[in-house]
């Protein structure tokens, strides 16, 4: 591993990593990607661009399409094929967000009312389907069966992960192994695919494809672990959603899994009632946060996030040192240290 690669260790000083290098690296390309997104979300049916625009224009880090562009830069690819594919990746992600908010009955998304609250559940589901269709149009236009296979497979895996999460909801017996399997499907699969397709477009060998896949997959797991920790240790203004959403929805995320496994009989009884939806008022949330803090569950969730972050960094350590690799490493560091 190159000596210039900065891995993450528990207890090291905070270095306030940011997405600024990634944003700078991909700024020109993202201009093209965003134009494709705006063009392809248009329709003669006014509700479609109105609803899609509500979510797409509502902010967000655009991590997944940026990863496609950054991976292409890492490989010194000089074409533009990856712009449409990055837009396809973002459409897949946006469609899943629309569907997730309906399933979760979410009120907030990125600090404002969720699209399903503004436009209704049926419209949110159908526009999500429209965006999925647009993503596949973009894949077909690219013409690569290999790219189509990677992204279509990721889409199927994401859907399986969401169904698996739904069946695990309010199941207090859900363990860490199943949780990580769900995260690997519903979140990490698209991160991995977003990175891998850059190697296909750049016509690099399977080892390079796999290295970028490993980077994206481990980054995706670390990103989701950090996200789940945030639900129990950040303020509403930081996260852009209601604090305790996961708790009220009965989701067995890692902080809860750890606190439940380490709890005494009375604490486990509380978790059983809470996860099944019988104890979810503000006082119950406060008690849940106290139990999670008592058992260092948020700290250990973030520690596990750092583990996967290190694996992501290691995956690209063999690539030549350049601005793209540095930006991708700092993006990993940002993913696990962020508070929103």
DSSP assignment string, 217-285: HHHHHHHHHHHHHHHHHS-HHHHSS-TTHHHHTT---HHHHHHHHH--HHHHHHHHHHHTTSS-SHHHH
**Upper half-sphere CA count for residue 146 (Cβ side, 13 Å):** 12
CB contact burial 128-143 (16+ within 10 A = b; e otherwise):
bebbbebbbebbeebe
| pLDDT tens-place values along the chain, 340 residues long | 343 456 665 445 456 899 999 999 999 999 999 999 999 999 999 999 999 999 887 767 899 999 999 999 999 999 999 999 999 999 999 999 999 999 988 888 777 889 999 999 999 999 999 999 999 999 999 999 999 999 999 999 999 999 999 999 999 999 999 999 999 999 999 999 999 999 999 999 999 999 999 999 999 999 999 999 998 985 433 545 556 788 988 999 999 999 999 999 999 999 999 999 988 898 999 999 999 999 999 999 999 999 999 999 999 999 999 999 999 999 999 999 987 7
Domains and CATH numbers, the chain: 20-335 (1.10.600.10)
Tokens of 255: 């902080």
Q: Which two tokens stand for residue 326?
A: 């540095």
The distance in angstroms from the start CA to the end CA of the chain is 31
DSSP 8-class letter at 19 = S
SS3 46: coil
Kindly tell me the sign of the dihedral angle through the C-alpha atoms of 264, 266, 272, 278. Answer: negative
Beta strands in 84-145 (DSSP E): 108-109, 112-113
Nearest to 312 by CA among 3, 7, 2, 27: 7
> What residues contact residue 122 under an 8 Å CB cut-off, 6+ apart?
none
**Nearest-10 crossing angle of helices 297-315, 282-294:** 60
Q: Is 285 helix (H, G, I), strand (E, B) or coil?
A: helix
């Amino acid at each position: 591993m190159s000596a210039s690669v900065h891995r993450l260790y528990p207890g090291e000083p905070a270095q306030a990593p940011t997405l600024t290098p990634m944003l700078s690296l991909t700024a020109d390309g993202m201009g093209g990607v965003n134009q494709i997104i705006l063009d392809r979300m248009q329709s003669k049916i006014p509700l479609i661009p109105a609803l899609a625009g509500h979510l797409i224009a509502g902010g967000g880090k655009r991590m997944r399409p940026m990863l496609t562009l950054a991976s292409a830069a890492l490989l010194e690819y000089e074409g533009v094929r990856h712009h449409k594919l990055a837009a396809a990746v973002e459409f897949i992600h946006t469609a899943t967000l629309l569907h997730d908010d309906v399933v979760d009955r979410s009120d907030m998304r990125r600090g404002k009312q969720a699209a399903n609250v503004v436009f209704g559940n049926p419209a949110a589901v159908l526009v999500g389907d429209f965006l999925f269709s647009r993503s596949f149009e973009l894949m077909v236009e690219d013409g690569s069966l290999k790219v189509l296979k990677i992204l279509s497979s990721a889409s199927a895996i994401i859907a399986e992960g969401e169904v698996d999460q739904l069946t695990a909801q309010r199941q207090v017996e859900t363990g860490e192994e199943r949780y990580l399997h769900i995260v690997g499907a519903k979140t990490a699969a698209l991160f991995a695919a977003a990175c891998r397709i850059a190697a296909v477009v750049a016509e690099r060998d399977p080892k390079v494809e796999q290295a970028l896949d490993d980077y994206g997959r481990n980054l995706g797991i670390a990103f989701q672990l950090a996200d789940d920790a945030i639900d129990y240790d950040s303020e509403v203004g930081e996260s852009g959603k209601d604090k305790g959403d996961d708790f009220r929805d009965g989701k067995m995320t890692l902080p809860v899994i750890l606190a439940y496994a380490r709890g005494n009989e009375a604490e486990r009884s509380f978790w059983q009632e809470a996860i099944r939806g019988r104890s979810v008022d503000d006082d119950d949330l406060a008690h849940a946060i106290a139990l999670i803090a008592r058992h260092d569950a948020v700290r250990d969730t973030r520690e596990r996030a750092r583990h996967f972050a290190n694996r992501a960094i290691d995956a690209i350590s063999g690539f030549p040192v350049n601005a793209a690799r540095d930006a991708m490493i700092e993006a990993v560091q940002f993913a696990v240290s962020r508070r929103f």
